[in-house]
Each structure stands twice: as C-alpha cells, then as structure tokens.
Amino acid sequence: MEFVFQNILNALQWGSFYALIALGYTLVYGVLLLINFAHGDIFMVGAYIAYFVATLFLGTMGLGPTATLVLAVPLTMILTSCVGVTLERVAYRPLRRKGAHRLYVVITALMCGLMLENGNLALLGASRKYFPELIEKTVYNFAGLSVTNLKVVVIITAFIAFAVLQFIVTRTKIGMAMRGISWDKFAIPLMGIPVDSIIVFTFVLGSGMAGLAGLLFAMAYPVLEPYMGALIGWKAFIAAVVGGIGDIRGAFLGGFLLAFLEIGVAAVFPSTLRDLIAFTVLLLIMWRKPTGIFGVAKHQKI
C-alpha cells in the first residue's frame, strides 16, 4: 500500500503541472475557439522569467530565499502574462480583425511557439540553466511514505489556483463576459462589452497560469532548457481535450488523469511503454466521449 500511495503523491505533483498549463489552453479556447499552441512555450518562458527574477533578488539584491519566493510568484505571473498579451496583440488580433480562418490563426500560434523556442536559444544559448533553491527541502516520513514540503506546496498551489480561476469565471462580471463571448461573440459588443479587453484579460489569466506552472516546475526540477515546454505543452493540451476543452473543470481533471495514467503505467510496466499505454487509454476515452469528459457538443445555427 505504501508503494501505491507514494505513486499517488507523485501523480498529484505531475498532474498539478499538467492541470495549470491545461487551464491556459482551455481559457483561450473557451473564449476565442483558438488552440493557442504557443502556450507550452509560454510555460517555458515563465520558467526562465522565474529563473532571472530569482537570480536578481538572490544575487544582486541580496534577499533571502523566502522573500525571493514571495516576490517571484506574482512577478513571474505578471511578466509571463505580458508575453501572452504581446502574442495576442501582435499575432492573433490582426488576423482576427481581418476575419482570417481559424486554421491560419492556429498555424500562426505554432509559428509563435517556434519563435519563442528558437529566440530563447539565440539569446541565451543552448546551455542549461540551474534554478536556485528557494525552499529548503524537507522530507516528511509517515506510515512508510516520503513526501517533500515542495511537493505539498505544488499540489496545494494548483488546487488554490483552480479555485480562484473557477470563482473568476463563474462568479464575476468579467467571467460572465468571457462565457458570453464563447456563447455568441457577435451579440456581446451590442451589449456594450469591450470584446478586446475581455480577450486580453483571458490571455492574462491563461499566461499567468503558465507562468505559475513554470515557476513551480523549475523549483521541482531545477534544470531549464529552451525546448522544455514542447512536450509538456502538448501533453497538457491533450489532457485539456480529454477533460473537455473549454471547461476549466475538464482541463483540471484531464491534467490529473493523464498524470495518474503515466505514473501508474510506469509503476507497473517498463517506462518505455508509459506514453503508449497512457495515450491509448485516453484515445479510448475520446472514442467513448468525443467531446471529452465535461465537454458538450455545440450546435451552430445556419
């Protein structure tokens, strides 16, 4: 039983990363019906921003690790949000205003992701960055289980972020506007709601979640490289689709479902079969429910 619970804790930590990134995917899709394929690379940028912020506070300003962490969390989320908003203003908004087909916007998003990866490579080089330790790791042992304080922080932070996001989307006026745009983007401007402002706020939320995930990931696995966001971004997107893209509950659940499948398969079978078996199970779920677990089929009137 100790082995089972240990793997559950590991899956909860990995699921937290997937879930936070998947939330960004599903927010943008829910409002714009756009798959922002650059989102995984925004996660990578968030990790690098957290690295430079932490290095600045620890080295140049001489702050302690705790104070650095307290300042790094909001600052990383804000700066990463600026990256997401810049992509929206420079790449997506001009196409949207010209009435471009969504396919061209998706291709543009792929291009933006490649630009972020290779821009990072050109500016910072191929050498890996090592994230400084902001939390002194403590291992708690109870009932045969070993869990670090950092793992607990990651899991709790993911659930708090989801709760805050759920509250914003379902209980606030701006959240109502976001849901209104996803329902009928043509009627919303007639009601006096500034569509562009709502879209910018959506990118702020989504990119902020990616920045938070990047910071937590860098703290847990403190080796950063320019292509670190590619694979985990794709997996988080698949998790969002399986959960029901456009529904933040589905994105959150899908992230943990994928993590539990990966950790469970690696615990029983050779690790080389992890992705094969995990994604086969997800494919079976999609066969059974093509819209995802929480997804609802949308009917368009002609």
Q: What are phi and psi of 223, to 5 degrees?
A: -125, 120
pLDDT at 302: 46
Report if residue 231 sits inside a domain: no
Q: How many domains are contained in the chain?
A: 1
Q: What is the DSSP string of 247-295?
A: -HHHHHHHHHHHHHHHHHHHHHS-GGGHHHHHHHHHHHHHHH-TT-SS-
Report if residue 209 sits inside a domain: yes
Report if residue 71 sits inside a domain: yes
Which positions ≥6 away from 293 have C-beta within 8 Å? 242, 243, 244, 250, 253, 254, 285
pLDDT at 185: 76
Q: How far apart are CA 40 and CA 233, in angstroms?
A: 4
Report if residue 263 sits inside a domain: no
pLDDT at 107: 92
For the chain, which residues score pLDDT lower than 70? Answer: 1, 297-302
Q: Report pLDDT digits (tens) over 163-175.
A: 999 999 989 999 8
Residue 106 and residue 37 in contact, taking contact as beta carbons nearer than 8 Å:
yes
CA 5, distance to chain mean position in Å, is: 25
pLDDT at 92: 93
Report if residue 237 sits inside a domain: no
Report if residue 210 sits inside a domain: yes
Q: What residue numbers bound the domain in which 33 lies?
A: 18-226
Report if residue 35 sits inside a domain: yes
Residue 223 and residue 133 in contact, taking contact as beta carbons nearer than 8 Å:
no
Report if residue 177 sits inside a domain: yes
Q: Answer left, alpha or beta for residue 62, where phi above 0 means left and psi between -120 and 50 means alpha.
A: left
